[in-house]
């Protein structure tokens, strides 16, 4: 197994001092899969103070858990003493850690067999739980008793699905059954830890979400309603959930806010669904309901303020495909103050949503293309915010007897005028406007 020079240098230092040292976890797994390893974690029988004595530059990262960060060749490498753990009272963190001398005991505490493989150049691969076999079988299997693993750390249940999504593996049946039995424990996991895992799943394989609805339930019970909501309409060929997940997969480039907006964009449909005498379903008003769901979810998941502001708006307008006009452009860019990035996100969400429709529904792509072309042409030639104006607030005060809030009102009037008369967005043109209109 080829290892980076910095990793080999650290391992040789341990070996020369009489200690064991192994690469463990994701670095070994990815290398065995022929994938590029992004980082390497090391484990050793040396105690933290012994590790710190071996190297010139170290950082005591987590003395309670035996972790020391060793700095070699400007790289930071985590080195952890072999340990066992017990007493997971909060279903997340061990209350007791015991340092041990056998790497197999350390591997026995890990989450999945594919992450419980160790390697050292001197001894080769240590694989007591057949992790290599599971790599070959392309499956995610818990180390030992899966119920115990998930009761120790409930985040592992989501990580199982994240590994399945990123590696294209299946979760082994007994492991999957244990996830379902213990799914209620996910409430013990902080949403700040869940969100990065969920985002990687949405990026790598959105359809994994259907297989883990019980793990989303405390925050998004509407996903289960979406999974049982058929769409008997010429515009759709899938139920609401599959349409949703398909839409996320159609993002041309993955954007976390767009992906989350798409996850939420149709969740109001099960609550407004009506069926006409011909058996055709209608979902009138679903964006409004979806927006309220989006606001609640953004709040409950403690999303950043930018997300709380952006995601509900993307949900609100995801279905608004119209014949473009200056009034339409004004409403979004001037009246509502959207910037270029926000408009691009809206177009990305609308494109992905349309692509997840049936062939009949995809006919709206032409209308979206017309909107985008109109936007790109007109937004280049018109002022869309105060910064685009040829005159500033200081200029306004020099030209007209206004102060305070009146300056802002004058600038707003000037922007409205210049938007519809872009040829007048010059110092001369706006000076005339100020002198004629502002008294």
* Class of the CATH domain delimited by 144-218: mainly alpha
Tell me what the mean pLDDT of segment 258-268 comes to: 98
Q: Give tens-digit pLDDT for 32-86.
A: 999 998 889 999 999 999 999 999 999 988 767 889 999 998 889 999 999 987 7
Q: Give tens-digit pLDDT for 146-166.
A: 999 999 999 999 999 999 999
What is the CATH number that goes with domain 229-381?
1.10.3210
- In this prediction, residue 87 carries a pLDDT of 67
| CA–CA distance, 345 with 335 (Å, rounded to integer) | 18
Q: Is 25 left (phi over 0), alpha (psi -120 to 50) or beta?
A: left
**How many other CB atoms sit within 10 Å of the CB of residue 80?**
21
Torsion over CA: 300, 306, 312, 314 (sign): negative
- For the chain, the domains span 5-137, 144-218, 229-381, 386-437
* Token reading at 210: 């259907």
In sequence order, which residues have a C-beta less than 8 Å from that of residue 93 and are 6 or more positions away?
153
Q: Which CATH superfamily is domain 5-137 in?
A: Beta Polymerase, domain 2 (3.30.460.10)
| CA–CA distance, 423 with 279 (Å, rounded to integer) | 54
Contact 382, 368 (CB under 8 A): no
Q: Give tens-digit pLDDT for 302-342.
A: 999 999 999 999 999 999 999 999 999 999 999 999 999 99
| CA–CA distance, 335 with 195 (Å, rounded to integer) | 33
CA distances from 220 to 264, 274, 433 (A): 9, 23, 52
pTM of the model: 0.91
- In this prediction, residue 62 carries a pLDDT of 73
- Topology agreement, domain 5-137 and domain 144-218: no
Q: Give tens-digit pLDDT for 231-244.
A: 999 999 999 999 99
Residue 92: is its pLDDT beyond 70? no
DSSP per residue over 121-167, as a string? TTTEEE-TT-HHHHHHHTEE-BSS-HHHHHHH-THHHHHHHHHHHHH
Residue 362: is its pLDDT beyond 80? yes
């Amino acid at each position: 197994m080829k290892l980076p020079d910095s990793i080999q240098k650290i391992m040789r230092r341990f070996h020369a001092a009489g200690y064991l040292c192994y690469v463990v976890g994701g670095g070994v797994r990815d290398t065995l899969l022929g994938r590029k390893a992004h980082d390497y974690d090391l484990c050793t029988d040396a105690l933290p103070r012994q590790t710190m004595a071996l190297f010139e530059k170290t950082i005591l990262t987590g003395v309670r858990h035996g972790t020391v960060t060793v700095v070699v060749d400007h790289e930071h490498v985590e080195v952890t003493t072999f340990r066992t753990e017990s007493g997971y009272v909060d279903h997340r963190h061990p209350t007791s850690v015991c340092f041990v001398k056998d790497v197999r005991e350390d591997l026995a505490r890990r989450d999945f067999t594919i992450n419980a493989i160790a390697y050292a150049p001197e001894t080769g691969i240590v694989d007591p739980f057949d992790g290599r076999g599971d790599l070959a079988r392309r499956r995610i299997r818990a180390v030992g008793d899966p119920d115990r693993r998930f009761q120790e750390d409930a985040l592992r249940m989501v990580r199982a699905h994240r590994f399945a999504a990123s590696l294209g593996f299946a979760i082994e049946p007994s492991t999957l059954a244990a996830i379902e039995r213990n799914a209620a424990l996910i409430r013990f996991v902080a949403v700040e830890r869940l969100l990065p895992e969920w985002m990687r799943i949405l990026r790598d394989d959105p359809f994994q979400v259907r297989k883990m609805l019980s793990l989303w339930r405390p925050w998004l019970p509407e996903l289960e309603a979406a999974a049982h909501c058929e769409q008997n309409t010429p515009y759709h060929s899938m139920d609401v959930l599959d349409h949703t997940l398909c839409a996320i997969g159609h993002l041309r480039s993955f954007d976390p806010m767009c992906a989350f907006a798409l996850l939420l964009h149709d969740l109001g449909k099960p609550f407004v669904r009506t069926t006409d005498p011909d058996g055709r379903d209608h979902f009138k008003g679903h964006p409004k309901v979806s927006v309220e769901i989006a606001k609640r979810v953004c709040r409950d998941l403690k999303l950043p303020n930018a997300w709380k502001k952006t995601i509900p708006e993307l949900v609100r307008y995801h279905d608004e495909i119209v014949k473009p006009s200056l009034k339409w452009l004004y409403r979004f860019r001037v009246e509502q103050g959207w910037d270029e990035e926000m408009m691009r996100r809206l177009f990305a969400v609308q494109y992905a949503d349309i692509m997840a429709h049936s062939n009949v529904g995809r006919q709206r792509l032409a209308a979206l293309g017309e909107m985008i072309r109109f936007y790109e042409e007109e937004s280049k030639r018109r002022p869309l915010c105060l910064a685009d104006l040829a005159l500033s607030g200081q200029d306004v005060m020099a030209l007209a007897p206004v102060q305070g809030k009146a300056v802002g009102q004058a600038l707003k009037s000037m922007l409205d005028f210049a938007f519809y008369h872009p040829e007048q967005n010059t110092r001369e043109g706006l000076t005339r406007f100020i002198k004629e209109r502002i008294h």
